[in-house]
């Protein structure tokens, strides 16, 4: 295993959602603008938001976003281990872009033979660490810099011996570590100091500095605390990033975050026509790729809200049933909350509904699932003439076609194979293959994630929804979702360039860990 000390940096965080993904993407975009060949990397990710690379590998969507920030094509090397939760206790393990099985937390982490602490079994941990370190070194061999993202907190002492994504990776590959703290949560100084003091001496030797994220107000009021933090730890704070509204980037996942009632922040522009268009997205359990609706929220006059009660659908012009890692579980949830009945009633009344991936499957007649839920044959909602049978092998693809007279492309990630025996395809009047799925009246379904990012198709679809809903809504003719995403990635690069000590960041990336970093007691327990 190489011990090269140049060309890399690990961005860790005091907590989940401290801003690691944003900071990693911002550093990637800033470096790319300087002409540096840079790539992102996350050794192990837990997320239901995933993406398919050009060669058919599944990786975390956050790493695909970071690759876009770095202006490189995403690959499985950038996220060698992806865990996709199926419940509180089990996850599907995706290794180097391919699903290799379902495993419980106990089965994945196991127990050490030399103690009761939870962690990857020694052999498995060493094997995975060798795999992820090899992927990192392969990226470093073809790029000037690789910006790595940690997971959760590096000070999770119950998991340190099993760690392959935070200090375990940093120590194996001699990576300098930058720790991000979210000051908007409160207690940022305690979090940064405590994170440092809970690391073993060998790990502290790699922790080179801090970054404060989501600050509101006068930075001068923060400076006395930053000076004291340096005196206490011997480490500098390399920037204070201001709070930014409406960044609109791909979140890592929705786990542990309630989206109910959330309005996508980009949906604030006035309508191009006389009316707004209201979109209700059902917050189904194990929701996957909820970023599919971001392209809708980018349209002026489209208001996107996540909801979980039947009465919240009453004034919606379009209801979206998103993807889910638990199609049968989502069906049970819909029925228990009265949402299944509300969806069937909407379909009978000719009011628009769109199902995507798992949401498409549960709108069908029947689901045969001996793979995901192992529930056997389950009745769907019966509003689309579709029968679904779950296959052992996962479909991973980057298809393209046409619908509503417009070119459309997307990506597929699903075990369920749909047999369509009626209805109509998405309307297609070109020589290209139609978009996957089917339509009955105003109910639409497709396996394709990301199709709404195709600007022409999105506008055509919204015109149909507006007509079916009786709304005088007119899509803006010049909304370009890819351009909007590029603007957001540039905003992340600006945050780093304008508010971080870029000279110090470059020194860490180029020269590695500075010598003489002091030990902060007590350190991790033995």
- The class of domain 277-482 in CATH terms is alpha beta
497-526 mean pLDDT: 94
Whole-prediction pTM value?
0.90
- Would the pLDDT of 406 be above 80? yes
- Is there a contact between 371 and 487 (Cβ–Cβ < 8 Å)? no
The pLDDT score that the predictor gives to residue 212 is 97
Q: What is the pLDDT of residues 67-83, one digit of tens each?
A: 999 999 999 999 999 99
The pLDDT score that the predictor gives to residue 111 is 44
- Would the pLDDT of 457 be above 60? yes
Active-site residue 428, yes or no?
Answer: no
499-510 mean pLDDT: 96
Q: Which residue has the higher pLDDT, 479 or 101?
A: 479
The pLDDT score that the predictor gives to residue 102 is 79
Nearest to 335 by CA among 380, 388, 280: 380
172-189 mean pLDDT: 95
The pLDDT score that the predictor gives to residue 252 is 57
- Would the pLDDT of 437 be above 50? yes
Q: How confident is the model at residue 502 (pLDDT cuts 50, 70, 90)?
A: very high
Q: Which of 259-273, 391-405, 463-477 has the least mean pLDDT?
A: 259-273
Q: Is 400 helix (H, G, I), strand (E, B) or coil?
A: strand
262-284 mean pLDDT: 78
Is the sign of the CA dihedral 383, 389, 392, 396 positive or negative?
negative
3-state secondary structure 67-112: HHHHCCCCCHHHCCEEEEECCCCEEEEEECCEEEEEEEHHHHHCEC
The pLDDT score that the predictor gives to residue 215 is 95
The pLDDT score that the predictor gives to residue 275 is 92
What is d(CA 335, CA 354) in angstroms, rounded to the nearest whole number?
Answer: 18
Q: What is the dihedral of CA 238, 243, 244, 245, to 10 degrees?
A: 160
CB count within 10 Å of CB 268 equals: 12
Cα separations (Å) of 26 from 23, 46, 241, 493, 498? 5, 21, 11, 4, 11
β-pair partners for 187: none
Structure tokens at 462: 């919204």
The pLDDT score that the predictor gives to residue 120 is 47
Residue 54 CB-density burial (10 A; 0-12 exposed, 13-18 middle, 19+ buried): exposed
What is d(CA 409, CA 457) in angstroms, rounded to the nearest whole number?
Answer: 9
Cα separations (Å) of 328 from 12, 49, 284, 293? 36, 19, 11, 22
The whole-chain average pLDDT of the chain stands at: 89
What is d(CA 236, CA 208) in angstroms, rounded to the nearest whole number?
Answer: 8
Active-site residue 357, yes or no?
Answer: yes
Task: State which CATH number among 3.40.50.300, 3.40.1710.10, 3.30.365.10, 3.30.565.10 fits the domain covering 8-236+501-511.
Answer: 3.40.50.300
Q: What is the dihedral of CA 428, 431, 432, 438, to 10 degrees?
A: 30
Segments making up each domain of the chain, as ranges: 8-236+501-511, 277-482
Nearest to 294 by CA among 68, 120, 472, 453: 453
DSSP state letter for 411: B
The pLDDT score that the predictor gives to residue 511 is 93
Structure tokens at 433: 């293959």
- Would the pLDDT of 246 be above 90? no
Nearest to 47 by CA among 79, 83, 12: 83
- Is there a contact between 387 and 364 (Cβ–Cβ < 8 Å)? yes
* Half-sphere exposure (Cβ direction) of 173: Cα atoms closer than 13 Å: 33
- Would the pLDDT of 199 be above 80? yes
Percent of the chain with pLDDT strictly greater than 90: 78
Catalytic one of 143, 447, 449, 499: 449
- Would the pLDDT of 2 be above 90? no
- Would the pLDDT of 430 be above 60? no
What is d(CA 113, CA 125) in angstroms, rounded to the nearest whole number?
Answer: 13
The pLDDT score that the predictor gives to residue 37 is 96
- Would the pLDDT of 303 be above 70? yes
261-278 mean pLDDT: 70
The pLDDT score that the predictor gives to residue 434 is 74
Catalytic one of 28, 135, 307, 357: 357
Q: How confident is the model at residue 251 (pLDDT cuts 50, 70, 90)?
A: low
The pLDDT score that the predictor gives to residue 106 is 61
Domains 8-236+501-511 and 277-482 share a fold: yes
What is d(CA 74, CA 250) in angstroms, rounded to the nearest whole number?
Answer: 14
């Amino acid at each position: 295993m190489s011990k090269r000390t140049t060309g890399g940096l690990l961005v860790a965080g005091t907590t989940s959602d401290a801003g690691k993904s944003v900071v990693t993407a911002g550093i990637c975009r800033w470096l790319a603008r300087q002409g540096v060949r840079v790539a992102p990397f996350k050794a192990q990710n837990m997320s239901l938001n995933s993406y398919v690379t050009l060669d058919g590998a599944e990786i975390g969507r956050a790493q695909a976003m970071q690759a876009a920030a770095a202006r490189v094509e995403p690959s499985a090397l950038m996220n060698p281990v992806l865990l996709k939760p199926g419940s509180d206790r089990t996850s599907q393990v995706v290794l180097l872009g391919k699903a290799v099985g379902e495993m419980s937390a106990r089965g994945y982490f196991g127990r050490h033979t030399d103690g009761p602490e939870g962690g990857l079994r020694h052999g498995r941990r060493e094997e995975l660490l060798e795999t992820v370190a090899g992927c990192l070194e392969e990226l470093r061999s073809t790029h000037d810099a690789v910006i790595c993202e940690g997971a959760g907190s590096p000070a999770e002492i119950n998991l340190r011996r099993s760690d392959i994504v935070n200090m375990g990776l940093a120590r194996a590959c001699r990576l300098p570590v930058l720790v991000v703290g979210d000051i908007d949560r409160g207690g940022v100084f305690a979090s940064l100091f405590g994170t440092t003091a809970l690391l073993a001496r060998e790990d502290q030797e790699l922790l080179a500095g801090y970054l404060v994220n989501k600050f509101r107000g006068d930075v001068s009021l923060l400076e006395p605390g930053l000076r004291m933090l340096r005196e206490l730890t011997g480490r500098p704070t390399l920037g204070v990033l201001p709070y930014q509204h409406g960044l609109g980037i791909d979140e890592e996942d929705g786990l542990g975050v309630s989206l109910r009632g959330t309005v996508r922040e980009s949906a604030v522009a006035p309508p191009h026509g006389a009316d707004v268009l209201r979109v209700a997205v059902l917050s189904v359990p194990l929701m996957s790729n909820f970023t599919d609706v971001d392209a809708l929220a980018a349209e002026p006059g489209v208001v996107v809200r996540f909801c979980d009660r039947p009465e919240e659908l009453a004034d919606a012009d379009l209801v979206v049933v998103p993807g889910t890692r638990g199609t049968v579980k989502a069906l049970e949830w819909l029925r228990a909350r009265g949402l299944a009945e509300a969806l069937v009633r909407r379909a009978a009344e000719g009011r628009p509904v769109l199902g995507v991936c798992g949401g498409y499957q549960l709108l069908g007649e029947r689901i045969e699932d001996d793979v995901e839920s192992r529930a056997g044959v389950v009745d769907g909602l019966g509003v689309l003439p579709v029968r679904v049978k779950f296959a052992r092998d996962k479909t991973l693809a980057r298809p393209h076609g046409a619908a509503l007279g417009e070119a459309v492309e997307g990506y597929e990630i699903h075990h369920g194979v749909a047999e369509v025996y009626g209805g109509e395809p998405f309307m297609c009047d070109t020589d290209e293959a139609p978009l996957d799925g089917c339509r009955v009246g105003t109910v639409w379904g497709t396996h394709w994630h990301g199709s709404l990012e195709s600007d022409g198709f999105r506008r055509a679809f919204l015109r149909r929804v507006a007509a079916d809903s009786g709304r005088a809504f007119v899509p803006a003719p010049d909304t370009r979702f890819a351009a909007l995403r590029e603007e957001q990635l540039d905003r992340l690069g600006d945050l780093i360039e304008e508010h971080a000590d870029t000279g110090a960041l470059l020194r860490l990336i180029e020269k590695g860990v500075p010598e003489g970093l002091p030990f902060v007691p007590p350190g991790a327990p033995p």
